[in-house]
């Protein structure tokens, strides 16, 4: 994996986590949804952020200051 590919992948994982968080927030504001759904969405977003951090760690790069 090249540094550019690593950067793009990490950015994509963080963007997808952010999208899940935005969707969860929107759903909570506009609908009554089960707590299990919001918990699952929180867990999914955190898993994407964790995957990004693990990917950076696997390639020996420090986590950027603005990550997460």
Residue range 17-48, pLDDT digits in tens:
999 999 999 999 999 999 999 999 999 999 99
Instruction: Report DSSP letters for 34-66, one per residue.
Output: -HHHHHHHHHHHHHHHHHHHHHHHHTTPPPPTT
Q: What is the pLDDT of residue 61?
A: 56
Q: At what angle do helices 35-58 and 3-30 cross, to 10 degrees?
A: 170
The count of C-alpha atoms lying within 13 angstroms of the C-alpha of 52, restricted to the half-sphere facing its C-beta, is 22
The residue with tokens 């990917």 is: 55
Tokens of 63: 């986590």
Does the pLDDT of residue 68 top 60, yes or no?
no
């Amino acid at each position: 994996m090249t540094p550019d590919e690593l950067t793009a992948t990490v950015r994509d994982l963080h963007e997808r986590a952010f999208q899940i968080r935005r969707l969860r927030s929107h759903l909570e504001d506009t609908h009554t949804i089960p707590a299990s759904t919001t918990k699952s969405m929180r867990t999914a977003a955190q898993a994407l952020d964790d995957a990004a951090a693990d990917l950076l760690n696997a390639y020996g790069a420090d986590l950027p200051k603005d990550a997460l």
